């Protein structure tokens, strides 16, 4: 059966949250300073000694059902369905003053989340969701699309780079206040629309 992408509203968040976004970390992008940092930073992929599973939904405040604390009026909610089974989703935040990543800008859209069920990855569902998210941001008049990920999500970094995103920020201390993620590096990706 073909996968169908549907635009829904915030009422979909319970169903959306049933789609696992967990992934296996087998390598990371280590930040390497060039000339003590004066020559810039370089990301070097290296294997981890003990692979592990990372699940962003394990963080209470990051679960999709917790997004109701934001003004969702302008947001875009997309879900991929195989029949009636949810197999993927993407959420785009726009014009929400309480979302720090939007920087108070009217022309900036943020990919708040994108996920594909583990058994359905590699089948083009993520690309279809990405395309809908980008089209939504353009329709909202946004000129820039922003995505946050971490150095432990190498597959996501490759996905964003392959879709024309440019790495705009490497923040080695971005998660210093989050004990479970303090060893990770925040990576911010940007795409001109």
Q: All domains of the chain, ordered by start, with CATH?
A: 3-192 (3.40.630.30)
Mean pLDDT of 78-98: 96
Q: How do strand 166-171 and strand 108-116 relate by DSSP bridges?
A: unpaired
| % of the chain surpassing 70 pLDDT | 99
Mean pLDDT of 169-191: 95
Looking at per-residue pLDDT, the higher value among 179 and 165 belongs to 165
Q: Which two tokens stand for residue 104?
A: 């108070």
Q: How does pLDDT run across 119-145, given as a tens digit for each residue?
A: 999 999 999 999 999 999 999 999 999
Q: Decide if pLDDT at 1 tops 70.
A: no
Q: How does pLDDT run across 22-69, given as a tens digit for each residue?
A: 999 999 999 999 999 899 999 999 999 999 999 989 887 778 999 999
Q: Residue 60 has what pLDDT? A: 77
Q: Decide if pLDDT at 3 tops 80.
A: yes
Q: Residue 87 has what pLDDT? A: 98
Mean pLDDT of 161-178: 96
Q: Which two tokens stand for residue 60?
A: 């209470």
- Rg of the Cα trace of the chain? 17
Q: Decide if pLDDT at 161 tops 60.
A: yes
Q: Decide if pLDDT at 190 tops 80.
A: yes
Dist. CA 23–CA 43, nearest whole Å:
20
**Mean pLDDT, all residues of the chain:** 96
């Amino acid at each position: 059966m073909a996968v169908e992408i549907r635009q829904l509203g915030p009422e979909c968040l319970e169903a959306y949250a049933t789609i696992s976004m967990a992934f296996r970390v087998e390598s990371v992008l280590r930040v390497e300073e060039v000339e003590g940092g004066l020559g810039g930073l370089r990301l070097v992929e290296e294997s981890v000694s003990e692979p592990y599973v990372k699940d962003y939904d394990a963080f209470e405040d990051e679960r999709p059902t917790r997004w109701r604390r934001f003004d969702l009026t302008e947001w875009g909610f997309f879900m991929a369905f195989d029949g009636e089974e949810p197999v993927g989703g993407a959420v785009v935040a726009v014009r929400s003053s309480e979302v720090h990543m939007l920087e108070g800008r009217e022309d900036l859209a943020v990919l708040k989340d994108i996920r594909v069920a583990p058994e359905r990855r590699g089948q083009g569902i993520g690309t279809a969701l990405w395309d809908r998210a980008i089209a939504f941001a353009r329709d909202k008049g946004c000129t820039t699309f922003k995505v946050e990920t971490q150095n432990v999500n190498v597959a996501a970094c490759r996905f964003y780079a392959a879709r024309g995103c440019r790495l705009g920020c490497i923040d080695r201390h971005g998660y210093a206040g989050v004990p479970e993620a303090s060893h990770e590096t925040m990576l911010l990706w940007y795409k001109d629309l």
